[in-house]
Amino acid sequence: MFRLYTTLAVFLCVLGTVWGSLQDCLDVVDTNCPPEATTHVDQYFCDDKGRVYNGSCQLQEHFCRLTFFHNESFHLTKLGPNCDHPLYVAAVPRPLTSEETNLFASMVHGVDDRLKRTEAAGTTANVSKPIFSKQDHTHKVYQRNPHCWAHDLDLTPISPWNSYGKTRKAGTLLSPRHAVWARHYSIRVNSTLRFVDRHNNVVDRRVIKTRALYTNASAHQSFLFGHDMVIGLLDSDVPSTISFAKVLPRNFTVLMPSRERVRLPVFSTDFEEKALVADFSNMRGTMASLIEPITTSTRHKYYERKISGDSGNPSFFIIDDQLVFLFVFTFGGSGSGTSVQHNFNEINSIMEHLGGGYQLTEVDLSRFVSAAHVNALFGDHIFG
């Protein structure tokens, strides 16, 4: 019974052109280790029931091998007396599909390669978190920070300032004329929403209409849980030097990689306009949420707890070097909020009602996953 875990499991991992380390692999897989074990990254720590999942090592190895490409190996051994308890055996995981693997890999590389590159250049997290090295809101002078780990991404859909909340309340473009923010931290009509292009030119637009997601008051619904979004219409389109964020395909409404022990990185901003990283927890029903990365990971250096003032700031997957919008912050800690995917059709009808002539734009995932398989992707338990 114990043989699986007394046998050494070998992990092979790699990271494109930027050489990573063992930790890059552990950034992405979850060995189900409690914090006290994480200083021993090569050792498997059994929980208080001696619980390990049969096949999870193989799944993680598979995931690692498919999403990274640095040929480092390490040994995973059992650690601690709890491993001598009888194994609690969950189901054997199904292997990741090639569709899952390819999409996961793009998401992982989108963030982890950039963090690695930053680290390799000797830039600390504190220096590389700020998106701007200068933000003079009064004189409209902005300088994008060349040391920001996300500097080479197109971050222009993200508004750093508005005339109503100043650095608070955020605002993210979902079309050339529509922005999204949080209802509990809303921006008034006639406020100016500011964007900065990649060459630090400022583009200001006036918010001329807003509409929140529907909340059923007679059903005692709280808008905080799954309806905490406002769409604002701008007085005119932003120029093509300012981009808007795409969203996942419409049918992509359930996404639970953490349940499968797969850690996908998410890029978020806060009210200071820092580029932060957390792991995706899940999206199901009306909400989407993040979790803290493993504390010894590189990602964790870019992680911050979300605090009062961060509400309304956006979270994205980075897929094919594009921002794919997920939600805006309602709750703090790791951060969670209303799932854009759950409200896809309603947001489109709000955009239509407000005017402007645009709808949400789905990111093209066709090179990863066929349209027919979008529903199934991530929907099945890996541990059955």
Ligand X SMILES: *[C@@H]1O[C@H](CO)[C@@H](O)[C@H](O)[C@H]1NC(C)=O
A 10 A CB-CB count for 284 gives: 17
Rule CB under 6 A: is residue 216 a binding residue for ligand X?
Answer: yes
Give the Cα separation of 363 and 348 in Å (integer).
Answer: 15
Comparing CB distances to ligand X, the nearer of 216 and 308 is 216
Helix (H/G/I), strand (E/B), else coil: 147: coil
Residue 338 C-beta: closest distance to ligand X, Å: 17
81 binds ligand X, rule: CB under 6 A: no
How far apart are CB 329 and ligand X at their closest, in Å? 20
Stretch that binds ligand X, among 86-94, 143-151, 165-173, 356-364 (CB under 6 A): 86-94
- DSSP secondary structure, 159-176, as one string: --EETTTBTSS--EESSS
190 interacts with ligand X by CB under 6 A: yes
- Pairing, β 72-79 against β 43-45: parallel
Nearer to ligand X, 18 or 26 (CB): 18
CA dist 266 → 82, 83, 275, 293, 314 (Å): 34, 33, 10, 10, 10
CB closer to ligand X out of 154 and 346: 346
Stretch that binds ligand X, among 107-115, 155-163, 195-203, 214-222 (CB under 6 A): 214-222
* Interacting residue with ligand X among 138, 139, 219, 366 (CB under 6 A): 219
CB of 155 to ligand X, least distance (A): 21
Nearest to 230 by CA among 285, 308, 165: 165
Per-residue binding letters, 48-67, with ligand X (x by CB under 6 A): ------xx------------
Q: Which two tokens stand for residue 244?
A: 């808007």
Q: Under a CB-based contact definition with an 8 Å cutoff, are residues 220 and 240 in contact?
A: no
* Contact flag: residue 212 with ligand X (CB under 6 A): no
* Contacting ligand X within 90-109 (CB under 6 A): 92
Q: Sheet of 192-196: strands edge to edge?
A: 161-162, 192-196, 202-212, 230-234, 178-181, 172-173
With the C-alpha atoms ordered 362, 364, 366, 368, is the resulting torsion angle positive or negative? negative
Which residue, 200 or 345, has its beta carbon nearer to ligand X? 345
Backbone φ and ψ of 93, nearest 5°:
-70, 145
Q: With CB under 6 A as the rule, give the number of residues binding ligand X.
A: 20
Q: What CA–CA distance (Å, rounded) separates 331 from 341?
A: 18
Interface residue with ligand X among 84, 307, 371, 380 (CB under 6 A) is 371
Contacting residue, 7, 126, 236, 361, with ligand X by CB under 6 A: 126
The answer to the question of residue 21 lying near ligand X (CB under 6 A) is: no
> Is residue 269 within 8 Å of residue 129, measured between CB atoms?
no
Q: How far is the CB of 142 from ligand X (least distance, A)?
A: 21
**Residue 374 binds ligand X (CB under 6 A):** yes
What does the binding site for ligand X look like in residue numbers (CB under 6 A)?
Answer: 1, 4, 54-55, 71, 87, 89, 92, 124, 126, 189-190, 216, 218-219, 251, 371-372, 374-375
